Amino acid sequence: MDKRIKLRNKGFINEDGAYVLYWMQHTQRIHDNGSLIYAINEANRLDKPLKVLFVISKTFPEGADRHYHFMLEGLRDLKNNFEKLGIDFTVVLGRFLEDIPPFLNKAALLVMDKAYTRELRALRQHLVKKAKSLLVVEVENDLAVPVETASNKLEYAARTIRKKLWKALENRSEFLKREPVENRSDSHADILDASLETIIEHCDINHSVKKSDRFTGGESEALRRFEAYVAQKINHYAHSNDPGKFLTSELSPYLHFAQLSPMHMLKTIEKGMNKGTIDKDAGEAFLEQLIVRRELAYNFVYYHKDGYDAFDKMTVEWAYKTMEVHKDDEKTVLYSKKTLENAQTDDTYWNACMREMVDTGYMHNYMRMYWGKQIIKWSPSFEEAYKRIKHFNNLYFIDGRDPNSFAGVAWCFGRHDRAFQETKLLGKLRPMTSGGIKRKFDMDPYIKRYLKK
């Protein structure tokens, strides 16, 4: 059996079931979706229709209008594409554990995608119990290498997982081509015909953070943006750290909601490098981030599930020791949480990236690192800094509450990094300064874009 496919129980196929049920939650796309392919194959084999179920949860930890609007745009895109395929796309507004179990009663089997964060893994465990004797199959779609195939333990840094990932990719298997649906059926996703704002109003989430005008959600938009990036920007990857050049891919929101497949991205870039249309160094540098750094983050939340978002557990021993030594360093500049949120510090570079985050739901990759380091310097304690960084990250970023985000926050405090020469306030944590940014980059274009007068 493919390593991405896992039987979650010792259940059986219900031959009298009315349909094969695919509960879609993490993988919100059609192309390169192994769960969908597996479900279609089983539906055809059993001569039954396929029902793809999506539950818009009325509540979600730290969810906001911005996250929901992006996701709902993606669901509308899916609705149109499922209708063309003749697949019943059923969308309900409710709660996972209340609204999924009734569909199990008429299912021949349950197929679901894999989750990595603590709450969503626990949700799947609850549903396996609810399924009782019904067969439950989990398919992993959203990493190039399945997380348990890449490693069976918490990895220390990129250098300890890199070879494992590339070795696994040398022998990777491909999902079968998606077959036509033999038993076509109508969708039950009428809720998506309502205005997205109306749907969001019924959700118990943070309504103060509004949608981003910079991003439109959906698989079609994700593919369009990726194709444009490959055609126009990837060969300039060596300069992508420069905030003023605007050369980042801006694809993290689409990867967060799995509206874009990392395997599709990998294959496209490998093909481009082989043809010579993508510079080899640029392609390899991009894949280092997509494969090694991203999947290291997933390893972090998967194998450190009780500590990836807790201050006293999220980083490593040397980092805690240096923070203990420097916890009482005198700070000449302290900002309140509100001052930070309003981007009213004396640091123009920091204010610009905070405005980018609050206004658009995104921040230039290099500035994310600088942003977090400054918050540590400006907060009353390391623990308070951690709380602030995580809060802003999860609330404003479209890709917040993501393995990459949790790992990125922990990186500010030494996780997946090394000790540096000791400095005041940060100790041996990696330092980043406004002077360093000024020496490296022309920041005027970035500042002008986000600090509008």
- Give per-residue pLDDT as tens, 228-254: 999 999 999 999 999 999 999 999 999
CB 6 within 8 A of CB 140: yes
Residue 314: which of 421, 396, 416 has the closest Cα?
Answer: 416
Burial of 35 (0-12, 13-18, 19+ CB in 10 A): buried
Q: Is the dihedral of CA 261, 393, 422, 325 positive or negative?
A: negative
Angstrom distance (rounded) from CA 117 to CA 136: 20
pLDDT digits (tens, 9 = 90+) for 97-137: 999 999 999 999 999 999 999 999 999 999 999 999 999 99
Q: Tens digits of per-residue pLDDT, 58-109?
A: 999 899 999 999 999 999 999 999 999 999 999 999 999 999 999 999 999 9
Q: Do domains 5-141+186-199 and 317-450 have the same CATH topology?
A: no
d(CA 207, CA 41): 41
Q: Report the topology of domain 5-141+186-199.
A: Rossmann fold (3.40.50)
Global pTM reads: 0.97
409, 415 Cβ separation under 8 angstroms: no
Pairwise CA distance, residues 95 & 60, whole Å: 9
Query: What is the residue extent of each domain of the chain?
Result: 5-141+186-199, 317-450
CATH class of 317-450: mainly alpha
What the block records as the tokens of 380 is 């009353």
pLDDT band at 453 (very low <50, low <70, confident <90, very high): low
What is the DSSP-derived secondary structure letter of residue 54? E
Closest among 259, 261, 243, 203 to 66, alpha carbons compared: 203
Distance of CA 30 to the CA centre of its chain: 17
Determine phi and psi for 215, rounding to 5 degrees. -130, 140
For residue 175, what pLDDT is reported? Answer: 81
pLDDT at position 324 over 80: yes
pLDDT in tens, 353-406: 999 999 999 999 999 999 999 999 999 999 999 999 999 999 999 999 999 999
- Quick one: pLDDT at residue 174? 81
Mean pLDDT of the chain: 97
The residues, ordered by sequence, that sit 6+ positions from 431 with a Cβ below 8 Å of its Cβ are: 373, 420, 423
pLDDT at residue 172, as a whole number:
87
pLDDT of residue 1: 63
Residue 26 has, within 13 A of its CA and on its CB side, a CA count of: 25
pLDDT (mean) for 415-433: 97
Place of tokens 């129980």: 9
Residues facing residue 111 across a β-bridge:
22, 137
Nearest to 286 by CA among 313, 262, 315, 257: 262
* Tens-place pLDDT, residues 162-192: 999 999 999 888 888 899 999 999 999 999 9
